[in-house]
Every structure is written in C-alpha cells, then in structure tokens.
C-alpha cells in the first residue's frame, strides 16, 4: 500500500515527483482539492498525496485541550493541527453556541506552552471541525 506524502501547492500547481522512479511532472489542481491519488505516467505506481497550500506548513498535533469562551464557558476539544497563524480542532460534544468571529482562549493541560499565545478568533466552523486564528486582541 502506498504511503501518503505531503506536497506543496503554489498557484494551484503541484510539482509532483514520483517517489518510486523520481520522474517529475507539473500538475494543475482545482482550488478546493486537499488530497488526490496520482498515478505516475512513467512507472505506473500510485501515490497518495495531501496538498499544503500554505506558505508555512501545518504541524500535525493530536491531543485533548479545552476551548474557553469570553463568558467563562469551557468546551473540550481534540487538536488536529497547528500553524503559526492558528489551530484546527474538533469539538468533542455538540457545536451549539460556537460561531465565527467569537473570541476564545485555548488551554492545553499536557503541554501548557503549546497554546501559550492565549487569544484566538474563530474563523470557520464546519460541523464539529473548527479553525481559529491567533489574535493580539484581549477579552473585554
């Protein structure tokens, strides 16, 4: 079974290099694609690819943490990835009361320095998946 590899995408173009025969190819991708299986035209091997469209890559990070709202309410979360500008996670219970543009804090008990920036703004909510961006603004 082929391994999944991460590839950088710039301007919706991927510089694909086959991990088996090292042949190279430039592939155009639709803007909404995050993963794809690509068959090498030279050797015929199948490669599973994840696409990173960010300038600085996400760092995969898994673990339990807590999201704290400005009113003091706490909600348990499952971390998935961290980048210099934000964090991606799943809400373990229902997403009621979670909406875009809310200010929150994240607390990680097993590694307090992991999320020490303190304040975040919710940028996307898709089902139980939430993306937050770092902010310098303080709670009022």
CB 73 within 8 A of CB 93: no
As a whole number of angstroms, the distance between CA 124 and CA 112 comes to 24
Neighbours of 89 (CB within 10 A): 23
pLDDT at 139: 47
> Across the 140 residues of the chain, what is the mean pLDDT of every consecutive 10-residue run?
78 90 92 89 91 74 86 89 85 80 87 73 90 69
In the chain, list all ranges with CATH 2.40.10.220: 59-134
pLDDT at 37: 92
pLDDT at 57: 65
Beta bridge partners of 65: 77
**pLDDT tens column, 100-136:** 999 999 888 777 777 765 789 999 888 888 999 888 6
CATH number of 59-134, picked from 3.50.50.60, 3.30.1490.20, 3.40.50.720, 2.40.10.220: 2.40.10.220
C-alpha pair distances (Å), 47 with each of 40, 71, 136: 8, 47, 41
């Amino acid at each position: 079974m082929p391994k999944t590899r991460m590839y950088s995408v710039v301007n919706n173009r991927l510089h694909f290099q086959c991990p088996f025969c090292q042949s190279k190819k430039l592939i155009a991708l639709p803007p909404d694609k995050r993963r794809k299986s690509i068959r090498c035209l030279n050797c015929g091997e199948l490669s599973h690819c994840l696409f990173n469209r960010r300038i600085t890559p996400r760092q995969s990070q898994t673990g339990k943490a807590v999201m704290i709202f400005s009113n003091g309410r706490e909600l348990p979360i499952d971390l998935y990835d961290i980048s210099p500008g934000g964090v991606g996670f799943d809400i373990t219970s229902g997403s009621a009361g979670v909406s875009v543009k809310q200010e929150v804090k994240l607390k990680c008990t097993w590694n307090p320095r992991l999320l020490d920036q303190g304040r975040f703004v919710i940028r996307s909510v898709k089902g139980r998946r939430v993306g937050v961006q770092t902010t310098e603004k303080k709670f009022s």
